[in-house]
Chain A
Amino acid sequence: MSIFVDENTKVIVQGLTGSQGRFHGLRNRDYGTKVVGGVTPGKGGTDVDGIPVFNTVKEAVEATGATASFIVVPPKFASEAILEAAAGGITFIVCITEGIPAHDEAVTFNRLVEEFPGVRLLGPNCPGIISPGKCNIGITSGDIALAGGPVGIVSRSGTLTYQALHELSQQGIGQTTCVGIGGDPVPGTNFIDCLAAFQADPETKAVMMIGEIGGSEEERAAEWIKHNMTKPVVSYIAGVTAPPGRKMGHAGAIISGSKGTAQAKMDALRAAGVHVCLNPTEAGQKMVEIVKGL
């Protein structure tokens, strides 16, 4: 099984007529994802390579029965797009947009929770989600993933997610689902959401968790793992050598004062029984070892 999405998930792309939306939307469709529509205000009635375009999310949902949306719009329109998706009947939103102001994210997240409690937002600023062989929403290259499980992946970083997929796939180890939660300070879906879903998924036998400096989500995840997770978890945390006070590329990747260091995160995870590895290659090898021993 996969988490959050599967082979039946119908997806619309908000921003399908833009160059990024078209590129990634069509790649997702080519992968086998049921991309059933696009949304661009003013372009309703047209199509992108046969995919019908609608003026609003509501119209798209009514016409196609879509439950998921892939948002590929510029930062200043992203918050509005997220709320429109939720109001239009979408229950799973993937927003890859990078560069949304933190205050907008905070307001949007709280409005979603209050007004649309059943809706899950993945991202913003994330690579998306791929359930190999079933559904790929986002910008992950489908060919580095391998279907069939048994590993679930959850990661804050895009390229390190690819690295993890690649290391496992090369060793013949498949993935149930790989979720990129994104590197922003207010992610819609966090580590614990994904760990809980993997713990509940019978086909996922082990989880790879990739974190980075900044915030305390990894520490919270460690606490959750300690009390709830029975499946083995392998983890890698990027940024051991990152200097304090500097944003390391991601808006959320910053050590503030003494908070958010990689060392504190690794210590917390180790104390929760997680296999903490010092680089992505080592994490891949450890996971191979664990899966072979299952």
Chain B
Amino acid sequence: MDLFEYQGKQYFARFGIAVSPGDIADTVEEAVAVAERVGYPVVVKAQVKVGGRGKAGGVKLANDVDEVRLHAGNILGLDIKGHIVRRLWIERSSDIAKEYYASFTLDRPNKTHLGMLSAQGGVEIEVVAEENPDAIAFLSIDPVRGLDLATARRWVNEAELDEAAREQTAELLVKLYDCYTKGDCDLAEVNPLILTPDNRVHALDAKVTLDENASFRHPEWEEFRATETDDPREKMAKERGLNYIGLDGTVGIIANGAGLAMSTLDVVNQVGGTAANFLDIGGGANADVMAAALEVINSDPKVKAIFVNIFGGITRVDEVAKGVLEALERVKISSPIVLRLDGTNAVEGRAILAPHLSATLITEPTMLDAARRVVAFANA
């Protein structure tokens, strides 16, 4: 789960990482109130989960109340790469002497943690990595041993940060590592990490991705979940406990297993269609799950046809077939449905469906045949 900047900063603050004083605002009046509280000048920042906010006009400096009104009014409702700004973060503006970069993430091939630190911050780290790879100091961290202050000190020296920033940065890095591990982050990134003219180091931005597998030990994540998605389809799916990702196409997809669901998207694409979603109903494809899945897909006005792709392993296809029929009694579906049922008890499953098949409820023997059929419906 990706956090908004303001959530990332609040998360950092819990681990003692210095951030600028500020608060959120959903209206111009709230923005003014926050600005008056934290003191001018302030920065008005669009809260969207996408890069390039500054270039899109989503980050502005305001020196007085009129400027706060002007910028907050302009930024709220702004469309940044398809993300509509609904919330602002207003924080005290910082004078910047130097901009650095720091992050922790999992180094998957080596199964260790990877720290990246650079004296060249404020720009995308991918660009630095491409143009000037030597400017990044990489640190491989054994997850069992963790990161201690002595190692962090050597690391800031190696990254050639300004002398005045080194000790504070080393301490901040240990806290950031703490946030990354104890806070169960997939990614904890500060860009820029700044040194002010009066020699203070703090996080001017926050990019945090949380590992949802760890949510059982983080009840405090509930507040982040509430703001996780704007997509009404994804909200609906989440309420029904479905593993759903909204896309832009016209073929609704229901499959069991993440790999098969991904593969279904690919095959639909190969035969000239576009998927409206990714939806993995997992192992327990009973009537409740199937009804919930069909409901979510049916709520998507772009969907023109639905592809149910099931390979029974532990999931029994006869149970799936019963689930589909039961679901159809409960939910009125407006699009034609093409099913491909294979694997455990597929013969029984197809037999259960046979008397109910029609011009809009169709089975096909293979994944490819079914994809062709469903795409023909969607593109008709």
A24 to B313, CA, bound (A): 12
Residues of A within 8 Å of B270, CB to CB, are: 278-279
Check if B259 sits within 8 Å of A75, measured CB to CB.
Answer: no
The yes or no answer to A288 lying at the interface (CB within 8 A) is: no
Check if B214 sits within 8 Å of A159, measured CB to CB.
Answer: no
Check if B257 sits within 8 Å of A160, measured CB to CB.
Answer: yes
A107 to B313, CA, bound (A): 31
The yes or no answer to A197 lying at the interface (CB within 8 A) is: no
The yes or no answer to A103 lying at the interface (CB within 8 A) is: yes
Residues of B within 8 Å of A243, CB to CB, are: 245, 247
The yes or no answer to B288 lying at the interface (CB within 8 A) is: no
A109 to B214, CA, bound (A): 17
Residues of B within 8 Å of A17, CB to CB, are: none
A285 to B1, CA, bound (A): 39
The yes or no answer to B62 lying at the interface (CB within 8 A) is: no
Contact with A along B327-367 (1 / 0, CB 8 A): 00000000000000011100000000000000000000011
The yes or no answer to A38 lying at the interface (CB within 8 A) is: no
B258-289 contacts to A, CB under 8 A, are 258-263, 265-270, 275, 278, 280
Partner among B2, B109, B181, B280 whose Cβ is within 8 Å of the Cβ of A249: B280
The yes or no answer to B143 lying at the interface (CB within 8 A) is: yes
Which of A46-54, A84-92, A214-222 lies at the interface with chain B? Answer: A214-222
Q: State how many angstroms separate the Cβ of B150 from the closest Cβ of chain A.
A: 20
Q: How many A-B residue pairs have CB under 8 A?
A: 171
Residues of A within 8 Å of B344, CB to CB, are: 141, 143-144
The yes or no answer to A110 lying at the interface (CB within 8 A) is: yes
Partner among A114, A166, A183, A278 whose Cβ is within 8 Å of the Cβ of B144: A114
Residues of A within 8 Å of B366, CB to CB, are: 281
The yes or no answer to A127 lying at the interface (CB within 8 A) is: yes
Which of A94-102, A227-235, A268-276 lies at the interface with chain B? Answer: A94-102
Contact with B along A189-220 (1 / 0, CB 8 A): 00000000000000000000010110111001
Residue of A at shortest CB range from B214?
A101
Contacts A139-B314, A251-B213 given: A159-B257 contact, CB under 8 Å? yes
B interface: dominant SS? mixed
Contacts A241-B275, A249-B278 given: A141-B111 contact, CB under 8 Å? no
Check if B263 sits within 8 Å of A162, measured CB to CB.
Answer: no
Check if B343 sits within 8 Å of A162, measured CB to CB.
Answer: yes
The yes or no answer to B24 lying at the interface (CB within 8 A) is: no
Check if A157 sits within 8 Å of B258, measured CB to CB.
Answer: yes
The yes or no answer to A32 lying at the interface (CB within 8 A) is: no
Check if B214 sits within 8 Å of A248, measured CB to CB.
Answer: no
Check if B106 sits within 8 Å of A241, measured CB to CB.
Answer: no
A161 to B311, CA, bound (A): 10
A163 to B366, CA, bound (A): 11
Residues of B within 8 Å of A236, CB to CB, are: 263
Check if A257 sits within 8 Å of B126, measured CB to CB.
Answer: yes
Check if B144 sits within 8 Å of A110, measured CB to CB.
Answer: yes
Contacts A111-B144, A185-B108 given: A249-B314 contact, CB under 8 Å? no
Q: State how many angstroms separate the Cβ of A141 from the closest Cβ of chain B.
A: 5
Q: State how many angstroms separate the Cβ of A180 from the closest Cβ of chain B.
A: 10
The yes or no answer to B256 lying at the interface (CB within 8 A) is: yes
The yes or no answer to B217 lying at the interface (CB within 8 A) is: yes
Contact with A along B120-162 (1 / 0, CB 8 A): 0000001000000000000000111000000000000000000
A257 to B211, CA, bound (A): 17
Residues of A within 8 Å of B126, CB to CB, are: 257-258
Check if A159 sits within 8 Å of B108, measured CB to CB.
Answer: no
A251 to B243, CA, bound (A): 12
Check if B106 sits within 8 Å of A210, measured CB to CB.
Answer: no
Residues of A within 8 Å of B217, CB to CB, are: 76, 101
Contact with A along B241-253 (1 / 0, CB 8 A): 0010101000000
A99 to B280, CA, bound (A): 15
Check if B367 sits within 8 Å of A158, measured CB to CB.
Answer: no
The yes or no answer to B184 lying at the interface (CB within 8 A) is: yes
The yes or no answer to A239 lying at the interface (CB within 8 A) is: yes
Q: State how many angstroms separate the Cβ of B261 from the closest Cβ of chain A.
A: 6
Residue of A at shortest CB range from B245?
A246
A287 to B89, CA, bound (A): 56
Partner among B142, B213, B243, B259 whose Cβ is within 8 Å of the Cβ of A102: B213
Provide a sorted-by-A list of 10 A–B residue pairs whose CB atoms are within 8 angstroms: A101-B211, A101-B213, A106-B106, A110-B144, A127-B313, A139-B313, A157-B258, A158-B313, A212-B259, A279-B266
